[in-house]
């Protein structure tokens, strides 16, 4: 099998690649303003989703369609694909890669997307593998910060909520460590950021502060990155109930935040950001989906026609 470039992990992206990607995403935003471009004409993307999704799947599909490509999609692979008939991921990968030029997959098991990719001779993109990683969400989050703050260096980024199971948190951390960033982790006891990620950040020379009290520490944050408690990752649902509602970002907390702070959230939200915050100009979470389309357009273009030399 020939060497294929996949997007499986945030570890693949260094500082220069990230900055080049953000420039490309800016170009894609200009293309979006005129409705799209036909550069991926004749190309087909397959989306294989084994877990619920609104933004990630639509975002990839929208990106592909905006670039003139086409899409074949299964939003419920777990119940409506041949895996239900005991087919292995290997055989599914081999099969779908005969029919598509690029595959996007989401799956509840860490490492499963990389496993499928090893049997595919077309690029495979990780759309989220269990609690592990969600590289393209991390990329669009950093793109949002870069756009809003002008740079990623010198920022204090607060991550709030389920830092243990939140794969987006893990992806953001691994990407942000490429920059001069200070981390503040705010989580309830039991949902702290995994030790191996904290170690990775410390090894990269990043300063880390831990807290359980958002109210006390919010004033230090340039970026407030919220995440929901990941209900589907708890084996015992009563444990989830313990944490639900642990942090709620509301108007009174926003009064304590910096005037030029920004609030990001990958969505979906449950109750961790009160709707009254939506109208606050510092709230950027409803701008992130559009940024996500631009970032995914840049990635698809790069994978399928390899035009972006610096990436």
Interacting residue with ligand NCD among 57, 167, 296, 302 (CB under 6 A): 167
Structure tokens at 204: 């990269």
For residue 108, give the DSSP letter: S
Nearest-5° angle of CA 117, CA 293, CA 280? 130
126 binds ligand NCD (CB under 6 A): no
Neighbours of 235 (CB within 10 A): 6
Q: Tell me, yes or no, if 56 is annotated catalytic.
A: yes
CB 104 within 8 A of CB 46: yes
Closest to ligand NCD by CB, 104 or 116: 104
Q: Which stretch binds ligand NCD (CB under 6 A): 33-41, 179-187, 245-253, 266-274?
A: 266-274
Q: Tell me, yes or no, if 70 is annotated catalytic.
A: no
The pattern of x and - marking residues 52 through 81 that bind ligand NCD according to CB under 6 A reads ---xx-------------------------
Report d(CA 140, CA 172) in Å as an integer. Answer: 9
Q: Which stretch binds ligand NCD (CB under 6 A): 110-118, 187-195, 218-226, 263-271?
A: 263-271
Q: Which stretch binds ligand NCD (CB under 6 A): 74-82, 109-117, 180-188, 265-273?
A: 265-273
H/E segment holding residue 209: strand 208-211
Closest to ligand NCD by CB, 93 or 128: 128
Among candidate residues 10, 47, 56, 227, the one labeled active-site is 56
Strand order in the sheet with 262-264: 208-211, 181-186, 155-160, 223-226, 262-264
Nearest-5° angle of CA 68, CA 148, CA 134? 60
- Least Å distance, CB 201 to ligand NCD, is 20
Supply the Cα-derived Rg of the chain in whole angstroms. 19
Closest to ligand NCD by CB, 55 or 258: 55
Helices (H) and strands (E) in the chain, counts: 12, 9
Q: Tell me, yes or no, if 66 is annotated catalytic.
A: no
Structure tokens at 105: 């997959």
Interacting residue with ligand NCD among 174, 177, 228, 284 (CB under 6 A): 228
Residues lying near ligand NCD in the complex (CB under 6 A) are found at 55-56, 128, 134, 137, 167-168, 227-228, 266-268
**What are the residue numbers of the active site?**
55-56, 85, 106, 134
């Amino acid at each position: 099998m020939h060497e294929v470039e996949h997007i499986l992990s945030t570890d693949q992206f260094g500082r220069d690649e990230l900055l080049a990607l953000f420039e490309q995403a800016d170009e894609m935003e200009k293309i979006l303003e005129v409705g799209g471009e036909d550069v991926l004409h004749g190309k087909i993307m397959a989306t294989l989703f084994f877990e619920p999704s609104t933004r990630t799947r639509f975002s990839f599909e929208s990106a592909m369609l905006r670039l003139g490509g086409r899409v074949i999609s299964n939003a419920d692979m777990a119940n409506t694909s041949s895996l239900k008939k005991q087919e292995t991921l290997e055989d599914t990968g081999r099969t779908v890669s005969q029919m598509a030029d690029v595959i996007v997959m989401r799956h509840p098991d860490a490492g499963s997307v990389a496993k499928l990719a090893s049997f595919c001779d077309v690029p495979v993109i990780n759309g989220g593998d269990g609690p592990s990683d969600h590289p393209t969400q991390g990329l669009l989050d950093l793109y949002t910060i870069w756009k809003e703050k002008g740079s990623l260096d010198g920022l204090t980024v607060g991550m709030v909520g389920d830092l243990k199971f939140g794969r987006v948190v893990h992806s953001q951390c691994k990407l942000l460590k490429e920059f001069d960033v200070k981390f503040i982790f705010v989580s309830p006891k039991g949902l702290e950021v995994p030790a191996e990620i904290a170690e990775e950040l410390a090894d990269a020379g990043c300063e880390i502060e831990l807290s359980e009290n958002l109210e006390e520490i919010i004033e230090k944050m340039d970026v407030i990155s919220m995440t929901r408690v990941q209900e589907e990752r708890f084996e015992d649902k009563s444990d989830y109930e313990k944490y639900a509602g642990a942090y709620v970002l509301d108007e009174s907390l926003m009064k304590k935040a910096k005037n030029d702070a920004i609030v990001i959230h990958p969505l979906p939200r449950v109750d961790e950001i009160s709707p009254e915050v939506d109208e606050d100009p510092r709230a950027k979470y409803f701008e992130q989906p559009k940024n996500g389309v631009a970032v995914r357009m840049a990635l698809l273009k790069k994978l399928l026609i390899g035009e972006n030399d610096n990436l």
